[in-house]
Amino acid sequence: MFEKVLIANRGEIALRIHRACREMGIQTVAVHSTADADAMHVRLADESVCIGPPSARDSYLNIPAILSAATITGADAIHPGIGFLAENAQFAEMVEEHGFAFIGPTADHIRIMGDKVTAKSTVKNLGLPVVPGSDGPVASLDEAEVIARSIGFPVLIKAAAGGGGKGMKVARSPETLREAYQLARGEARAAFGNDEVYIEKYLGHPRHIEIQLLGDMHGNCVHFGERDCSVQRRHQKVIEEAPSPALNAEQRSFIGDLAARTTAAIGYRGVGTMEFLFEDGQFYFIEMNTRLQVEHTISEMITGIDLVREQIRVATGAPLGYGQADIRFEGHAIECRINAEHPETFLPSPGRIDGYHAPGGLGVRIDSALYDGYRIPPHYDSLIAKLVVHGSTRNECLMRLRRTLEEYVIGGIDTTLPLHQRIIAQPSFIDGAYDIHWLEQLMAKGS
């Protein structure tokens, strides 16, 4: 087992990883920018190292500074967390070249599955259904037009290196294809330094269903069921639930087993997620995330398994030690992503927390690095808390969520708490009858 893990991240996820380490008897090293000197992840870690100024480029993305911090503190492994360097194959490679274990997949897997075009062709060859579209990147507008006409409008132009909903544009007709193609390429170039794009059929009313996976270094792979992440704004998840209210038992075991078999076939190690769109009873693979995900919490709540602990354990080379039949699913879980943003305009709202009260009670989990008096810096992602509730049934879970949202107080800044209250009061949400466009349609209606 590792003795000391350096956590190359910040905020709630750094704290989440610290907690798993402490419970495994592993010491932790926090790294932080000058803007995060008072952050909770720094306060709780056994050791901390300042790695640069506020800008993420100079701190949380500063590979030499992170590797130096690991060297001087004598860490034996590095956990990249979520975002920042978590899907950077070069970082994974450098971590291992410097003699540290990387708590994540191999650099090759990050490369193959992190590029959406190669990921799609890899899983397609292994028999997974994918969204109809171009077989690879499209090299020109003319080529885009030929493909778009053959699959039929509307189409979606997507960045091969995409993430966070960036570099994705819909073209509803041949007339709008040029603009969508150019906008997607421009956005992809600015966000990822890579303007390679591909085309997919734009599905009209799908749900986003993803499968949580875990593989070890010995060819074993299991899944932890699905998560329904269809409540989205600008292709970004807002609320997630597990299990999905849209799947029956047969569909559930079909897609879970298929995803686990495919993941085992590529020899994947660590945690990962295969994302699918689900429409009219059919699943279509869209991408794989080769890292822990924000919403891993709900899979933990319905299985009782600590996925970060498992991730660390398999990174030591330990075998899984259990099979699919040993994973039991119990009850229902929902996560609300709470952002420091205005609930209607979504303008970021960094600043000082003035009054903080977190709800508690049976089946309630808050993953957050907030505390009263904490000053949220303006430099990073606006996710400040994940409110996760578990209930023995979906209805119990919804009632518990309503109760906890009423109790939660985050003073001094704007948050999306009121948006969550509004969403969960909608009859269609209560009925589980929503697709990926549902939230934007609700917001377009006003209050």
Does 174 bind ligand ADP (CB under 6 A)? Our answer is: no
Q: What would you report as the CA-atom Rg of the chain, rounded to the nearest whole angstrom? A: 21
200 binds ligand ADP (CB under 6 A): yes
- Two tokens at 197? 């794009």
CB of 84 to ligand ADP, least distance (A): 16
Nearest-angstrom CA–CA distance, 303 and 313? 17
CB of 212 to ligand ADP, least distance (A): 15
Q: Is 309 in the site for ligand ADP (CB under 6 A)?
A: no
Tell whether residue 156 is a contact of ligand ADP (CB under 6 A): yes
Q: Which stretch binds ligand ADP (CB under 6 A): 200-208, 360-368, 374-382, 384-392?
A: 200-208
Asked if 189 and 181 touch (Cβ cutoff 8 Å), the reply is no
Q: Cβ 343 to ligand ADP, closest distance in Å?
A: 21
Q: Mind giving me the DSSP string for 281-308?
A: TEEEEEEEE-S--TTHHHHHHHH---HH
> Which residues are known to be catalytic?
291
Nearest distance in Å: CB 92, ligand ADP: 19
Interaction between residue 162 and ligand ADP (CB under 6 A): yes
Q: Site for ligand ADP (CB under 6 A): which residue of 196, 216, 287, 300?
A: 287
420 interacts with ligand ADP by CB under 6 A: no
Phi then psi dihedrals of residue 3, to 5 deg: -100, -35
**C-beta of 165 vs 373, nearer to ligand ADP:** 165
Q: For the residues of 115-127, what is the DSSP string, one character each?
A: SHHHHHHHHHHTT
Q: How are beta strands 155-159 and 197-201 bridged, if at all? A: antiparallel
Check binding of 333 to ligand ADP (CB under 6 A): no
Q: How many residues bind ligand ADP (CB under 6 A)?
A: 20
Residue 381, C-beta contacts closer than 8 angstroms, at least 6 positions apart: 11, 83
Q: Does 36 bind ligand ADP (CB under 6 A)?
A: no
- Is 405 in contact with 421 (CB distance < 8 Å)? yes
Q: Is 79 in the site for ligand ADP (CB under 6 A)?
A: no
Is position 138 an interface residue for ligand ADP (rule: CB under 6 A)? no
Is residue 286 within the footprint of ligand ADP (CB under 6 A)? yes
DSSP string, 125-159: HTT--B-SB-SS---SHHHHHHHHHHH-SSEEEEE
Of 30, 70, 78, 203, the one binding ligand ADP (CB under 6 A) is 203
- Residue 261 found at the interface with ligand ADP (CB under 6 A): no
Contact by Cβ (8 Å): 225, 302: yes
Cis status, amide bond into 54, omega within 30 of 0: no
For residue 163, state whether it binds ligand ADP (rule: CB under 6 A).
Answer: yes
Helix and strand element counts for the chain (H, E): 15, 20
x/- mask, ligand ADP, residues 264-283, rule CB under 6 A, reads: -----------x-x------
Q: Which residues bind ligand ADP (CB under 6 A)?
A: 131, 156, 162-165, 168, 200-203, 206, 208, 232, 235, 275, 277, 286-287, 436
